[in-house]
Amino acid sequence: MQAKKCKLPISLGIAIAERRKQKGLTQGQLAGTLGISQVSLSQIENGLIAPKLVRLQDIADALSCTVADLFRPSPSDSVQKVAMIADMLQALPERYQDMFLSMIESAVSSLRNDDKKNT
């Protein structure tokens, strides 16, 4: 009977690579912060090796997240953009929040109509 290959190191490596890129770090920069070689980090990001728990905590610290965050899928660009809009909305006084939402709704409607005309 053939053993199944564990997918956890692969998904963990993808999460680490995505978070590293979101922070604008190269493999070399993150590896330097962690005190490991770029080759070792590449192997982790490609799921070829799994980091020990202590190293995982170091990686999470360097990426400003928790170890648990590394096991969750990172939010898509759309989700991040929605969060940015929510932050902008919350920064406004309450009396301007409805106006802000109306402006977004109007812009989305116009863009959709324009997109339909161009397709």
Q: Give the span between the Cα atoms of 62 and 65, in whole angstroms.
A: 8
**Per-residue pLDDT reduced to its tens digit, 69-97:** 998 866 666 766 777 788 888 899 999 99
What are the E-state strand segments in the chain? none
Confidence of residue 20 (pLDDT cuts 50, 70, 90): very high
* Residue 58, pLDDT above cutoff 90: yes
HSE-CB for 19 with a 13 A CA cutoff: 24
- Nearest CA among 43, 67, 69 for reference residue 56: 67
Which pLDDT tens digit goes with each residue over 99-115? 999 999 999 999 998 87
Grade residue 5 by pLDDT with cuts at 50, 70 and 90. low
∠ CA 19-89-115, nearest 5°, is: 80
d(CA 89, CA 86): 5
* CA 41 – CA 46 distance, rounded (Å): 9
- CA angle, 116 as apex, 115 and 119 as ends, to 5°? 85
Alpha-carbon span 75 to 112, nearest angstrom: 24
